[in-house]
């Protein structure tokens, strides 16, 4: 069933607007707001995580258990599909990158800096750091929006995929430092394995030797962030040159995107083979 769900996810992502309809965070955000106003997120961050993440996961697990014996388990298919779609990242990455790409292609570094701040939340001290930061942003967003969710769904099912997205929402939306720190620690643990699988995928579909040389000594490090590891592996695999204004700089974004597409195809092929032989 997992591979069928993933095929539907790709179709919905490419040919419909269902993702925006399914990804309604307002009820969950209202619950977060109530806990923040009551002081629970600051005084008892672990309790807030149990309420905001644990309870939805328990309810989902109970629903899956109730539906499993009915209709030969086919009633689970729409539930899996809705949960995976909800668990994907928010927004359209390519659309968000569009204004930056246009400014960088024109060679207008000042406009590129402004739109990077406005649309991407990315800063940079001059041309030498702005483009690498945008490259890191692109790879990280692709990873956390798609690859991490797919990894946990295939490995542990929809409950794990939903857990990843709820923790990501906590890190993004919590106003309490204590809650954001605890949620970030849990998310870092969730990221440790899938980001290394993704880095290995980059090596297989890109420059294997360059990835090995760049990241082998950090492959098992707990301290390196998922964003650092993913972007470093992607740049090495795509043999990304130094930052350059104009069309050459935009071409580096295109090459990284193509690398991400090839990695996604590799993942789908691996999942299909696993489904056939398991």
pLDDT at position 198 is 96
Checking 191-196 for CB contacts under 8 A at 24+ apart, the result is 191/144, 191/148, 191/226, 192/222, 192/226, 193/151, 194/143, 194/147, 194/148, 194/151, 194/152, 195/143, 195/148, 195/226, 195/229, 195/230, 196/229
Question: According to DSSP H, which parts of 117-157 are helical?
Answer: 127-142, 148-156
Long-range CB contact pairs, 63-69, < 8 A, 24+? 64/157, 64/158, 64/159
Q: Could you list the mean pLDDT of each consecutive 10-residue stretch along the chain, which spans 278 residues?
A: 87 81 93 92 92 97 92 87 95 90 88 90 81 94 96 96 97 92 95 96 94 85 92 93 87 95 95 85
Buried b (16+ CB within 10 A) or exposed e, 98-134: ebbbebbbeeebeebbebbeeebebebeebeebbbbb
Q: How far apart are CA 80 and CA 64, in angstroms?
A: 9
Spatial separation of the C-alpha atoms in residues 92 and 56, rounded to whole Å? 26
Query: How far is it, in rounded angstroms, from Cα 41 to Cα 93?
Result: 30
Owner of token pair 């939805």: 56
Give the model's pLDDT for residue 245: 85
pLDDT at 12: 85
> In sequence order, which residues have a C-beta less than 8 Å from that of residue 83 and are 6 or more positions away?
60, 158, 161, 162
Tokens read off for 178: 């204590």
* pTM: predicted TM-score of the whole model, two decimal places: 0.93
Q: Within a 10 A sphere around the Cβ of 144, how many other Cβ atoms?
A: 24
DSSP 8-state secondary structure symbol assigned to residue 91: S
Tell me how far apart the alpha carbons of residues 230 and 259 are, in angstroms, rounded to a whole number: 12
């Amino acid at each position: 069933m997992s591979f069928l769900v993933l095929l539907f996810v790709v179709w919905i992502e490419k040919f419909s607007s269902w993702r925006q309809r399914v990804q309604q965070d307002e009820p969950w955000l209202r619950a977060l707001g109530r806990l923040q106003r009551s002081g629970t997120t600051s005084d008892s961050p672990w309790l807030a995580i149990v309420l905001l993440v644990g309870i939805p996961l328990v309810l989902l697990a109970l629903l899956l258990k109730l539906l499993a014996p009915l209709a030969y388990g086919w009633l689970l298919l729409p539930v899996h599909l809705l949960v995976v779609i909800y668990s994907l990242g928010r927004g359209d990455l390519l659309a968000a990158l569009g204004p930056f790409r246009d400014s960088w292609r024109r060679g207008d570094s000042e406009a590129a800096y402004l739109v990077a701040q406005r649309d991407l939340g990315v800063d940079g001290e001059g041309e030498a750091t702005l483009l690498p930061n945008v490259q890191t942003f692109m790879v990280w967003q692709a990873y956390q929006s798609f690859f991490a969710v797919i990894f946990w769904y295939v490995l542990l099912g929809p409950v794990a995929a939903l857990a990843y997205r709820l923790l990501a929402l906590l890190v993004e939306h919590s106003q309490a430092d204590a809650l954001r720190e605890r949620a970030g620690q849990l998310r870092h643990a969730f990221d440790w394995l899938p980001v290394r699988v993704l880095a290995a995928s980059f090596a297989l579909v890109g420059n294997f030797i360059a990835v090995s040389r760049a990241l082998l000594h950090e492959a098992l490090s707990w301290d390196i962030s998922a964003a650092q590891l993913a972007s470093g592996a992607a740049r090495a695999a795509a043999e990304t040159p130094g930052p350059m204004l104009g069309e050459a700089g935009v071409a580096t974004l295109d090459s990284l995107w193509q690398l991400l597409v090839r990695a996604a195809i590799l993942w789908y092929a691996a999942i299909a083979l696993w489904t056939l032989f398991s």
